[in-house]
Structure 1
Amino acid sequence: MKHDWATAPRRATHDARNGLPNPVIPAADASQRPRRPQEGSTAMPTTRLAERLSAMNLPEGVTTSPLPNVYYFRSSISRPRAPVVYDPGIVVLAQGSKTGHLGDRSYVYDARHYLVLSLPMPFECETNVEPGKPLLGVGVTVSPALIAELLLDLGETAVANPPEHSVEACVTPPEMIDAAERLVAALDNERDTRLLAPAIAREIAYRALVGDRGDALRAVAARHGRYAEIAGVLREMHASYDRTFNVEDLAGSLKMSPAMFHRHFKAITATTPLQYLKAIRLDKARLLMASEGIPASVAATRVGYESRSQFSREFKKHFGATPTEEAAKWRGHVPSS
């Protein structure tokens, strides 16, 4: 799904994904400005979607839905730039806006622009809301199997060359908004959840796949090439974050030198392997403390830290608050175990 920390949740790894203010970027360098797709006639307001989500009286943060790969999120206040982790998938906002920052690039997504991610990606995000209009949205996580199935039905193949970026913001077409509205409605009924919701979530993935930035999702199903190899490593690190990873071993498994592995890894993630793993571990620790109420020492061990002091030091540097402060801040904003 999620974690804006969320947000892009995952059922047990939801982030309360939040956005942050844009950095000051010299006007002369247009390539680094926040990527907000050009408005077009194909975009449409998401009022009905916002009304449906508002009527649900969602709690702050991320909320799991009856469907494992779908989640909701809400934020009644603007939140400053902070680290989050998103799973591969699509984020559709009905109200409010977020700005995600990855490396030297920024992505704005709001009621007229959805976000698509092809890899589990730690980045930074800020949330912006207007008084009386909380940020509301729905996210759908996708798997390589789902994208491969859709490509097979389309008679197409995964991209031979990697996409320029693993995160993209795209103008939301009317069909995407309509599908999101129907998905939220279906999830409000037990029978519709079983019979209709999975197909509608699949439709949302399809709409993104055939959209202007579909290559970002096509890459999810790629099995060959450097992008696919690094993507495989990211998924492994994401799933087994409590393990010890050795960069030399990872590089060797891909028949790369450590220097080449670092270069390809950073080109895709805008960070180093060790920093990526650290971000995943700290995000998971925050989730565990907030959702399960466990102390920092237990969370540190469960995410792979051997030193409590190192965990506390790196946690505060990453989030700008101690584990206890951050857990108290997010407790009640994420689903409990």
Structure 2
Amino acid sequence: MPSQLNYSDACVDRIASYLTKTKAEPKRGFFKTPLPDVDIFWGEVSIARSPLVYEPGIAVVLSGQKVGFLNDRRFIYNATQYLAVGLPVSFECETEASTETPLVALFLRADPGVVSEIAVAAGLLDPTTKVSLPITTVDPVPVNQKLKDAVFRLCGYFSNPTEARLLGPQTLREIFYHTLQDVHGRVLLAQTVTTRPESRIAALLRRKDLFGTESVEDLAQQAGMSPPSFYRHFKAVTGQSPKKYFQRQRLFRAKSLLVFEGASVAEAARHVGYVSPSQFSREFRNLFGLPPSRASEFGFNYDFD
């Protein structure tokens, strides 16, 4: 393992070597790795504050910096602290990157079954122990030496498919274990703690058949909660009202369809549950600053959806 001072540089070198080996040129955008739950992002342009969406997992920034804004919270993730995300969530973010100091990051998706298994083995879900569990779904976590060691090894597996297959899954478990040892990293437990109202909301958010066109009363009934309790806990978990949360999720999905899957504006609107094309265009522009007809201008965004 390299010294603490050049940990991030050493990881970036390993990633750059892997991208060169796979002829991923130019180094811009998202890249798959031999590990299905790990993606690489490489960007060389700063991005002003704009909305993005994350799935449950951790974002490890090795170079450059991101600043997130969720309601009245402001948080930074860079080479000294990474971001843990417990539930699907959208927030605003600005990115600091350049050719000399690119944004190089890994996103590790968190499988709720794996996280739950690790948490049980570590005694974090034992009702007889008093373990502090945060109610927020996004939190920066300090990078410690054990985390650095594991991430450095993980980056080395990218260029060796055999090591990736045999050693990668265990190293991912190690990384999630170290994350759960920090109280901030326990936001990952939002998907697994079945005795709390937040877990019912987590189960609801994992469903792919909800477009948010349902009323709060319908959503509350599906979560087995009263509407006032559902609204209160939903906002505590996501930082947004149910209406705003689902609206943003629909629009992010539509943007992905337009940019990456070549859908027409009408197809994207219809797919995410909009009946009125004009309403879709208006809300899309309000969120992203461009009409859906110009979605191709977004290019590569810096989110991990």
Q: Structure 1 length normalisation: TM-score?
A: 0.80
| Corresponding letter in the other structure for 2:173 | R
Counterpart of 1:279 in structure 2: which amino acid?
R
Shift in CA distance, 43/164, structure 1 to aligned 2, threshold 3 Å: farther
Q: Do the aligned partners of 2:64 and 2:78 also contact (CA within 8 Å) in 1?
A: yes
The Cα shift of 1:284 comes to 1.0
Work out whether residues 54 and 303 of structure 2, in 8 Å CA contact, stay in contact via their aligned partners in 1: no
Identity %: 35
Q: The residue matched to 2:273 in structure 1 has which SS?
A: coil
Query: 1:152 pairs with 94, 109, 120, which one?
Result: 120
RMSD, aligned CA: 2.5
Q: 2: CA distance between counterparts of 1:191 and 1:137? A: 23
TM-score (norm. length: structure 2):
0.88
1:269–1:333: structure 2 CA closer, same or farther, 3 Å change rule? closer
Matched residues in 2 for 1:260 and 1:331: separation?
39
Q: Using the TM superposition, give the Cα deviation of residue 68 of structure 1 relative to its aligned residue in structure 2, in angstroms.
A: 2.1
Q: Tell me the distance in 2 between the aligned counterparts of 1:288 and 1:334.
A: 15
Partner of 1:11: none
1:268-309 alpha-carbon deviations (Å, 9 max, x no partner): 211111111111111111111111122211111112212211
CA deviation after TM superposition for structure 1 residue 86, in Å: 0.5
For 1:139 and 1:167, how far apart are their aligned partners in 2?
14
SS in 1 for 2:67: strand
Larger deviation: 279-288 or 151-160? Answer: 151-160
CA distance in 2, matches of 1:245, 1:195: 44
Q: Is the 8 A contact 2:191 2:203 kept in 1?
A: no
Work out the CA distance in 2 between the residues paired with 1:324 and 1:66: 35
| Of 246, 251, 254, the match for 1:282 | 251
Show the counterpart of 2:74: 106
Corresponding residue for residue 77 of structure 1 = 45
Decide which of 17, 37, 53 is 2:15's aligned counterpart: 53
1:220 and 2:191 are equivalent in the alignment? yes
Find the aligned partners of 2:300 and 2:264 in 1 and give their Cα distance.
12
Deviations 1:99-145 (A, max 9, x none): 11111101100011111111111111110124511110111111221
How many residues of Structure 1 are paired with residues of Structure 2 in the alignment? 293
Gaps spanning 5+ residues in structure 2: where?
none
Q: For 1:84-123, list aligned pairs within 5 A.
A: 84-123=52-91
Q: 2:32 aligns with which of 40, 64, 75?
A: 64
Q: Does 1:325 align with 2:283?
A: no
Residue 250 in 1 paired to residue 219 in 2? yes
- Contact 2:135/2:236 (8 A) holds in 1: no
- Using the alignment, how far apart are the partners of 2:301 and 2:203 within structure 1? 33
1:166 maps to 2:137 = yes
Deviation digits for residues 168-206 of structure 1, max 9, x if unmatched? 112101221221122122122222222111111121111
Runs (5+) with no aligned partner, structure 1: 1-41
In terms of mean alpha carbon deviation, does 310-319 or 155-164 score higher?
155-164
